[in-house]
Structure formats: C-alpha cells, structure tokens
Structure 1
Amino acid sequence: MAGHSKYKNTMHRKGRQDALRAKAFTKIAREITTAAKLGVPDPAMNPRLRLAVTNARAVSMPKDRIERAISQASAAGGEDYKMVRYEGYAPGGIGLIIETLTDNLNRTGGNIRSYLSKAGGNLGTTNSVISGFDRVGEIFYPASVASEDDMMEAALDAGADDVESDADGHTITCTFETLSEVSTALAERFGDAEAANVVWRPHARIEVTGDAATSLRKLIDILEDDDDVQNVFGNYEMEEDEGE
C-alpha cells in the first residue's frame, strides 16, 4: 500500500484483528449461553456446552466472560436465541449453508435474503443445498502438538474416521454424533483443540477464481459480519488470498 508507513499498516491490521476478536467473543458467548439453556449449565455434563467452551478457550476468551455467558442462561429476562439454518446460492451456482442464532427471525431472514440478492444470488428452499453436503465433526490441532503418525493413531483410537495433516496442523474428522466423545479423548492426550465444531462438508467443490472469487469473498465477509450469523459453509474452492 504505497504512501502508508509500515507502522500505520501494522496498526490498521491490529485494529481489524481486535475488531474480529471482539466479534468472535460475542458470537461464542451467544453459543455458550444457548448451549447452557438447552442443557445443564455444566460443561462436564453438556457436550454442546463443552465444545463451545473449548472454542472459547482456543481464541483466548477470558474465563470470567465464559462464566458470565453460562450464568446468563438462567438470568431472568435473558434473551432467547433460536437456531435457524438458511440455504442459498451465490452467483455461479455456489451453494451456501448459513447457520444463525437469532432472537428476531424477521430481522435475520430479511438481512440474509438482502445480502444474497445484492450479491446476485438468492435464498433457497429448505434442503435445497444440504443434499450436497455431509454433516460431520471436525477437530483441529496445530502441527506442533503431535507427529502425523501419533495424531492418526490417537484419533482412530478415539473413534475418529480420518485425519488430514499438513504443515499447518491436523484436521480430525468424525461423525457429528461422536464429536464430543472424540474431542474429549484427544484433549486428555494433547490438551484442548484449537477448534472443535460440527461442520457441513461438500461432496464436491466448485473452483472460483478472479473477480468471481473477489465477489464471493465479499459476500461471505458480509454474512460473517452479521451478529446473528454463527457459521457459513459453501461448496467452493478458493485460494486463501483471493479477494484480499
């Protein structure tokens, strides 16, 4: 970026990282509160809450904020969030699955429809997109935690289906029903995972490049920036730096 000092660039990046971190905390806190409301407010007895707390720790969410989010589940007059999944299409036939936690269905549905429409896409009907995806559990550990062979052995012993390892880390896949069990077993050996989530994995991916990738990245950023949106999954293949 010509005309800008390295210091200013660094401060700009730090400002954006801080903003993303704050938004991540807000979304994780909402998930923790919802999980605690749907079950018992004890991570040891509530698999969904345990996973939410694991993800909170992975992004260094303060302990007092985690505890506050759990306690809000039983607070009088607390907000009730409903889990709603939207399915839609980006230009080029890219299928998107958008998971939300919302206390206002009209607001959330209207916003998502607007985002997709303005990007040249459209909101789909129920089950129009998920037929091309599998719902699986996915756990991620940094490469430094274990060797490829050690992680593969530990993951399979824990009941996982597969492990993909590269320079960045280990991605462990299991059925979504066994995610909590596998995650707990691996945590006993390697400590908390960097992430442990139920994800939608596409059967096949569509390669997106150039201007189309720039537009798709912009749409995904807009969706993820919405406070009600928890996760966005798609059947696209796109370089990490496309659209940056």
Structure 2
Amino acid sequence: MGRIFEVRKATMFARYDRMAKQFSRIGKEIVIAVKKSGPDANTNPALRRIIQNAKSVNMPKDRIESAIKNALGKDTSNYEEVIYEGYGPHGIALMVVTATDNTTRTVANVRSHFNKGGGNLGNSGSVGFMFKHLGTFKLNPEGLNPEDLELELIDAGLEELGEDSEGNLIVRCGFTDFGNMQKALEERNIIPVSSEIQWIPENTVAISDEQAEDVLKLIARLEEDDDVQLVFHNMA
C-alpha cells in the first residue's frame, strides 16, 4: 500500500511540475506579446493565440488576466525570444526556443546543458536550415470536413493538413502566414484547441532506442531550465 501511495505522490508532483512549467511559459509569452502590441486580445493576434493556449492547459482565467495586467507594469522584466541551435548526441539537430531577460545567463546555461548532455551548442544558422518555421493549429475535427477545409484555407497560406495521434486536425502554414490563417479560421468560427509557431524538421533521423534515450535526456535537461520555452528536434 505504501508503494502505491509513493507512486501516486510522484505522479501528482510530476503533473504539478509540468503544469507549473506550462503556466510559466505562457506567462512569459504574455509579457512579450503585451509589451509588443498591447493588452487588447481583439487587436493583438499573438495575445489572442496565447490566451487560447492558456485555456487549453486549464490556466485559470484570473491568472491569465493577472499576467496581462502585470505585463503593463514598469517593474516587469523585459523578456525577449532567443533561439539557440546545436547538435545533441548521435547527430540529432536541436532548436531551443527561450524567453529571457538575461541572454548572458541563458546562453551559458544552454551551453552547459548541451555539454553535459553529450551535445554541442552551435552558431545561429548551424541547424536552422534543416527545419521549416511553421504556424501550427490544432483543431477539434467535430463538424469539420477536411477536404472542404483544405480548399477553403489554401488562400490563407495552408501548407499541410493532417491528423495527430489523438484524432485532432493539424493545420500548418508558413510563419509569415500565421496571422492570415488565424483570421481565416476565426472568420469560419473555428476556435483552435491550440496554436503555436513551431520548427518542423525537413527530414528526420532514425536512431536506436538506446541512442534516443540519450537525446531525450538532453531535451529533458533543457526543458527543465526556467528560460527554455520549447525544444524541437529532427529525431524520427
């Protein structure tokens, strides 16, 4: 009985840590979006996207509103998005998206994570050419006809339309077409489950399960860093 309790407690804390990380990431995104284009989600597409994502991970409404209000304060940190590139173990390319108020600290930490995880931090552009910078919208498929939707969204910059493992529709467009696609979906009263700017690999690299474990350990180390928002890779 004691063993079961310990497992449940560990699972609960892991879930809490994951939720806390998600809320922290969204909070920083809100600061960046508000400082760049204001606190009104109706005129700030980036903020509107972030609020949708916040709701998808059950971030409380009052916490979202508090983050927007705090972003307007003079004492709020000025975060900026900085992307680091490098190779993990076994030649796997990594794109590390950070939100930082101290680039000196962040680059030192990211370099340390790469070194300790058996990888190497590269220069800007060292692996970025292996990825496509895309906007990704996850949609509830209920009431949607994929074939019709594909035709309707071509003019908004649609590049890919498919499904994920959970049966959600996945709509992808070029980074510069993100606003157009967001508007096109809103005009059709389609509210995404979530939407993100992602780095999608042009090609993936197949490695063994044992090698993949090495890469995943480095990714986990990076994701635990407070400054790291997202990590993308080209591992199959």
Partner of 1:32: 30
Residue from 16, 22, 25 that aligns with 1:18: 16
> Within the alignment, does 1:93 sit opposite 2:94 as a pair?
no
Partner of 2:214: 215
Which moves more between the two structures, 27-36 or 50-59?
A: 50-59
- Partners in 2 of 1:167 and 1:20 — Cα distance? 21
Question: Structure 2 matches for 1:140-179, cutoff 5 A?
Answer: 140-144=138-142, 146-149=144-147, 151-156=149-154, 158-166=156-164, 168=166, 169-179=168-178
- Partners in 2 of 1:87 and 1:49 — Cα distance? 26
1:212 Cα deviation from its structure 2 partner: 1.0
1:184 Cα deviation from its structure 2 partner: 3.7
Residue from 54, 57, 60 that aligns with 2:58: 60
Matched AA of 1:206: V
Partner of 1:69: 67
1:190 Cα deviation from its structure 2 partner: 5.5
Structure 2 length as normaliser, TM-score? Answer: 0.90
> Within the alignment, does 1:123 sit opposite 2:117 as a pair?
no
Mapped contact 1:108–1:228 kept (Cα < 8 A): yes
Structure 1 length as normaliser, TM-score? Answer: 0.87
1:222 Cα deviation from its structure 2 partner: 1.2
- Partners in 1 of 2:125 and 2:24 — Cα distance? 29
Instruction: Count residues in correspondence.
Output: 235
| C-alpha RMSD of the superposition | 2.2
Q: 1:4 to 1:177 in 2, by over 3 A?
A: farther
Residue from 133, 136, 140 that aligns with 1:135: 133
CA-to-partner distance for each residue in 1:89-117, whole Å, 9 max, x for gaps? 10111111111111111211111101100
- Partners in 1 of 2:155 and 2:8 — Cα distance? 44
1:24 Cα deviation from its structure 2 partner: 0.3
- Partners in 1 of 2:4 and 2:161 — Cα distance? 39
